[in-house]
């Protein structure tokens, strides 16, 4: 298994991350020694915040029932007594002009219902993650995106919008994706106003980390090149 702590350190150093990257793993069995989540959270992305703060834990589908949208993107059917919550929240979003109902069919969804979802800070993971979530400022996300392009694992999807949680199935299906986040996610995770997301397939993490050093170095050299051109050619 890769040295995930070393990988986290490398990403943190180059991208100047303010939050720890979050590893997400879908498992038939809970890894030995992993705490099972107890309590209640209002949204599936709330678990991202807890993991970024340093917690390692596993969830089961019922832990996600409070989030109809997140349950949808993670292919988690709501129980019969709560099945009306998804159409209700969608109707609210449509009535506010936030969403068009025909957009729902195009939202990426996990291919099957997960049995256990494990959330961990990247450096603390004891299993290979399926997806790793990064929160970074736009200029740093640019470097991560360029590294993924160089590694050949950047998806052709545009910058994703709402819901943010669709980034996980999108990354699994297409490669690294970026997301502007959504208002619900920003409330539940408390990320900064200038922060954006990247979702990286775990299988591509080492490739991207290797290319990131080259990309970061190239950007430093190009920044100096462009500053000199601006000084030489700008008349304003």
* Residue 130 to residue 114: CA distance in whole angstroms: 12
Grouping H, G, I as helix, E, B as strand and the rest as coil, residue 112 is coil
Is 170:201 a contact under the CB 8 Å cutoff?
A: no
Q: Give the bridge partners for 118, in sequence order.
A: 25, 58
What value does the CA radius of gyration of the chain take, rounded to a whole number of Å?
19
The answer to whether residue 114 scores a pLDDT higher than 90 is yes
Predicted TM-score (pTM) of the model is 0.94
The pLDDT tens digits of the residues spanning 186-216 come to 999 999 999 999 999 999 999 999 999 999 9
SS (H, E, C) 138-151: HHHHHHHHHHHHHH
Q: 8-46, pLDDT tens digit by residue?
A: 999 999 999 999 999 999 999 999 999 999 999 999 999
Give CA–CA dist 4/212, Å, rounded. 16
């Amino acid at each position: 298994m890769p040295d995930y702590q070393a990988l986290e350190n490398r990403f943190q150093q180059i991208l100047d991350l303010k939050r720890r990257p979050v590893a997400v793993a879908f498992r038939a069995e809970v890894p030995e020694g992993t705490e099972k989540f107890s309590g209640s959270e209002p949204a599936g992305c709330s678990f991202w915040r807890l993991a970024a703060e340093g917690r390692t834990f596993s969830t089961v589908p019922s832990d996600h029932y409070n989030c109809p949208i997140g349950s949808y993107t993670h292919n988690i059917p709501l129980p019969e007594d709560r099945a009306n919550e998804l159409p209700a929240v969608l109707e609210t979003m449509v009535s506010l002009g936030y969403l068009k109902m025909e957009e729902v069919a195009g939202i990426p969804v996990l291919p099957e219902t997960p049995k256990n979802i494990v959330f961990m800070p990247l450096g603390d993971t004891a299993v290979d993650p399926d997806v790793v979530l990064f929160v970074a400022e736009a200029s740093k996300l640019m470097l991560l995106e360029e590294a993924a392009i160089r590694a050949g694992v950047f998806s052709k999807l545009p910058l994703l919008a709402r819901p943010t949680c669709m980034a996980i199935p999108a990354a699994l299906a297409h490669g690294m994706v970026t997301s502007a986040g959504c208002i619900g996610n920003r409330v539940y995770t408390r990320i900064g106003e200038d922060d954006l997301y990247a979702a990286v397939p775990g299988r591509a993490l080492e490739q991207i980390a290797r290319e990131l050093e080259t990309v970061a170095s190239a950007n430093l050299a190009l920044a100096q090149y462009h500053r000199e051109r601006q000084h030489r050619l700008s008349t304003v």
